A and B are shown apart, each in its own frame.
Chain A
Amino acid sequence: MWYFAWILGVLLAVSLGIINALWLETTACLDDEECGSID
């Protein structure tokens, strides 16, 4: 059933997007001049 594959695939793709952002969030200095100046 490809329809199930879609449900899993969307979950996976959304998770990859979230994880990639969280990875950036926890380990990087996000602004070139000073960290977190925007938040």
Chain B
Amino acid sequence: MFPTEEVIELSRWQFASTALYHFLFVPLTLGMTWILVIMESLYVMTNKQVYKDMVKFWGKLFGINFALGVTTGLTMEFEFGTNWAYYSHYVGDVFGAPLAIEGLMAFFLESTFVGLFFFGWDKLSKKQHLMVTFLMALGTNLSALWILIANGWMQNPVGSDFNPMTMRMEMQSFADVILNPVAQVKFIHTVAAGYVAGSMFVLGISAYYILKGRDLGFARRSFAIAAGFGLASILSVIVLGDESGYEVGDVQKTKLAAIEAEWETEKAPAAFTVIGFPDQEAEETHAAIKIPYAMGIIATRSFDEEVPGLKDLLENHERRIRRGMIAAGYLDKIRAGTATEFEKESFENAKEDLGYGFLLRRYTDDIPNATEEMIQKATKDSIPQVAPLFWTFRIMVAVGFTLLFIFAASFYYTAKRVVHKKRWLLKLALYGIPLPWVAIELGWFVAEFGRQPWAIGEVLPTYMAASNLTVGQLWFSMAGFLGFYTLLLVIEMYLMFKFGRQGPSSLHTGRYHFEQGSDDSSAGGGEPVLARPVESDRI
């Protein structure tokens, strides 16, 4: 019994769309928590009420976003088991550990302190509350750390070994899993991208208030904070882009060659293709414009290391598929209990290619006796589709540099204290709010689509990883996700726009734009809000 192609396709669509959707909310949480830490530190340092109002107002928007982050994150934990049962069985021994530790070490921290963050204002001292905000930020970031350790292991499965008796990957070194170079660069790149998203969100909305001439003290301070934090973040995203993680492991090398549409291995240092039209069938890139030496230097951080091209990689994959067939033959005997000592030993020598043998599973049940035609098909499958990766990567990089420009200009003009006079920049910041999300989602696509055909690089093909479900079950869940997620997004955006437009007036403190002049004209509620002071420590 094996799921049909349709079930596997639907499972992939479901996982990809729910993960992309979840990742609309995560980056903002990652970035906003640090921005809240900055604002609250300023409150503790300067004792100015406006900074406390900033923490509360931006915290309100953060909360609206956070709720959906939690909601959609639940899906991710369920889906490994519900839709990728064989994956869970096959790698749970390694992959499950960082997920469980994420819960214990990070998610508890984040979720417990998020409650205190919102409800602890009157119950905690200023410094205690700042500490709570800091721990919340730390929790969200540690959460990302463990998730990316898990994800890094999918790209480059270190510190583990296949055990034919238990039919799964088993952990050999937990330290290797944590210190996986792919996980490390991925973590920095991803959280820094989240900081950029948070900064752009605050920058753009603050720009809107400045453009409207409302709550200027509030808006200009917020803008300055976002510009400073954002500039540092976008620089680290670009400078520490995760290219340096592309040296290790076959999957990462293949991904890099696909991103660059580099079919032939070039002499070091390889050229960088700025633009061109990759052609998967002909195995070449039409009309390519190249910058000499650039890619070799970026990818290998050296002048003499080669970046292998796709044709060489394919040749290597074909060899590994053939060895994988032999390994699969021994595995069958071991599973049936008929293997001799010699065959068991031979399996140990060949098992690093077992995953490549599994690429044939799509075409035959009998992997050891696959035909030549099947081997050729499986070899073709062993690299991802080049054109989508080539384009998404380039758009991501272009967006990244646009963001660098926005933050650099914002920082420069806030430092010169004339940013409120630069209406073009304020408009750019406002309408540029979606940009980090575009780059982030494309970056996710590059990382995960570029990993195909593997669920776990060189170990388990995506094709084999899915649960034995029926098409009907998949349509049920897809319909449920589509319905709920659309509805939730509409509600979330509605609240974001509503409170974003109202600005700090939504705190009902009486200090901000919509509450000044006539007291009972406050947006939303309409009741006289100034009847008596709510804040205990008004200054």
Report A-B touching, CB under 8 Å.
yes
B-contacting residues of A (Cβ < 8 Å)? 1-3, 5-6, 9-10, 12-14, 16-25, 27-28, 30-32, 36-39
Within 8 Å by CB of B38, from A1, A18, A25, A32, lies A18
Chain B interface secondary structure, helix, strand, loop or mixed? Answer: helix
- Determine if A27 and B232 form an interchain contact, defined as CB atoms under 8 angstroms apart: no
Quick check: B213 and A32 within 8 Å, CB to CB? yes
Q: Does B35 contact A (CB under 8 A)?
A: yes
- Residues of chain B within 8 A (CB-CB) of A20 are 224-225, 227-228, 411, 414-415
Q: A5-B240, A20-B224 are in contact. List 12 more A-B contacts (CB 8 A).
A: A9-B232, A14-B41, A16-B232, A17-B228, A18-B228, A21-B42, A21-B224, A25-B46, A28-B417, A30-B217, A37-B217, A39-B48
Most A CB within 10 A of own CB, among B195, B225, B420: B225
Asked, given contacts A6-B191, A38-B50, whether A21 binds B417 with beta carbons under 8 Å apart, the answer is no
Complex formed: what's the CA distance from A5 to B236 in Å? 10
Is B57 positioned at the interface, with any CB of A under 8 Å from its CB?
Answer: no
Most chain B CB atoms below 10 A, which of A1, A12, A25:
A25
7 tightest A-B contacts by CB? A20-B228, A17-B229, A13-B232, A2-B184, A17-B228, A16-B228, A17-B38
CA distance A32 to B37 in the complex (A): 27
List, in ascending order, chain A residues with CB within 8 A of B42's CB: 18, 21-22
Q: Closest residue of chain B to A2, judged by CB?
A: B184
Task: Given A23-B224, A24-B414, decide whether A17 and B216 contact each other with a Cβ distance below 8 A.
Answer: no
Contact with B35, one of A2, A5, A17, A22 (Cβ below 8 angstroms): A17
Write the nearest CB–CB distance from A11 to chain B, whole angstroms: 10
Which A residues are CB-close (under 8 A) to B60? none
Whether B415 pairs with A31 at a CB distance below 8 angstroms is: no
Shortest Cβ distance from residue A15 to the other chain B in the assembled complex, whole angstroms: 8
Nearest Cβ on chain B to A18's Cβ, whole angstroms: 6
Q: A13-B195, A21-B224 are in contact. Are A6 and B187 (CB under 8 A)?
A: yes
> For the complex, what is the distance from the CA of A14 to the CA of B218, rounded to whole Å?
19
Contact A16 to B231, CB < 8 A, known contacts A5-B240, A32-B213, A38-B511: yes
Cα–Cα distance between A36 and B35 once the two chains are bound (Å):
23
A19 touches B216 (CB 8 A): no
Q: Does B49 belong to the interface (CB within 8 Å)?
A: yes
A14 to B43, CA, bound (A): 14
Q: Are B37 and A14 in contact (CB under 8 A)?
A: yes
Please, could you name 15 A-B residue pairs with CB atoms under 8 Å apart, sorted by A? Answer: A1-B184, A6-B191, A13-B233, A14-B229, A16-B228, A17-B225, A20-B227, A24-B220, A24-B224, A25-B46, A25-B221, A28-B220, A38-B218, A39-B49, A39-B539
Question: Inside 8 A of B236's CB, which chain A residues have their CB?
Answer: 9, 13
Contact of B229 among A3, A16, A31, A32 (CB under 8 A): A16
Hey, which chain B residues are within 8 Å of A25, CB to CB? 46, 221
Decide yes or no whether B34 CB sits under 8 A from chain A. yes
Which B positions have Cβ atoms within 8 angstroms of A?
Answer: 34-35, 37-38, 41-42, 45-46, 48-50, 141, 145, 179, 184-185, 187-188, 191-192, 195, 213, 215-218, 220-221, 224-229, 231-233, 236, 240, 411, 414-415, 417, 420, 511, 539
In angstroms, how far is the closest chain A Cβ from the Cβ of B57? 13
Nearest Cβ on chain A to B177's Cβ, whole angstroms: 13
Report how far A13 CA is from B34 CA in the complex, Å: 9
Which residues of A have CB within 8 Å of B233? 13
Minimum CB distance partner of A24 in chain B: B224
Query: Which residue of chain A has its CB nearest to the CB of B512?
Result: A38
Enumerate chain A residues within 8 angstroms of B417, measured Cβ to Cβ: 24, 27-28
User: Smallest CB–CB gap between A6 and chain B, Å?
Assistant: 5
Residues of A within 8 A of B411 (CB): 20
Which residues from chain A contact B195 at a C-beta distance below 8 Å? 13
| Cβ distance B480 to chain A, nearest Cβ, rounded Å | 37
Of A10, A20, A31, A32, most buried by chain B (CB within 10 Å of CB) is A20
Q: How far is the CA of A30 from the CA of B218 in the complex (A)?
A: 9
In the complex, A29 Cα to B409 Cα: how many Å?
20
Which of A3, A13, A17, A20 counts the most chain B CB atoms within 10 A? Answer: A17
Partner of B184, one of A3, A38, A39: A3
How far, in angstroms, from A7 to B225 measured CA to CA in the complex?
19
Q: Which residues of B contact A37 (CB under 8 A)?
A: 217
A6 contacts across to B, CB distance below 8 A: 187-188, 191
Instruction: Output the least CB separation between A37 and chain B (Å).
Output: 8
- Given A13-B232, A23-B224, does the pair A32, B216 have CB atoms closer than 8 Å? yes
Q: Which residue of B lies closest to A36 (CB)?
A: B217
What residue of chain B has the Cβ atom nearest to residue A32's Cβ?
B216
Give bound CA distance, A15 to B539, whole Å: 26
For B415, what are the chain A residues with a Cβ–Cβ distance below 8 Å?
20, 23
Determine the distance from Cα of A18 to Cα of B37 in the docked complex, in whole angstroms. Answer: 10
Judge whether A9 and B192 touch: CB under 8 Å. Answer: yes
In angstroms, Cα B41 to Cα A24, docked, is: 15
Contact B185 A2 (CB under 8 A): yes
**Could you tell me the distance between the alpha carbons of A5 and B232 in the complex, rounded to whole angstroms?**
13
Chain B residue contacts of A10, Cβ below 8 A:
34, 141
Q: How far is the CA of A38 from the CA of B6 in the complex (A)?
A: 61
**Chain A residues near B232 (CB-CB < 8 A):** 9, 12-13, 16-17
Closest to B226 in A: A17
Given A14-B229, A17-B35, A21-B42; A2-B221 close (CB under 8 Å): no
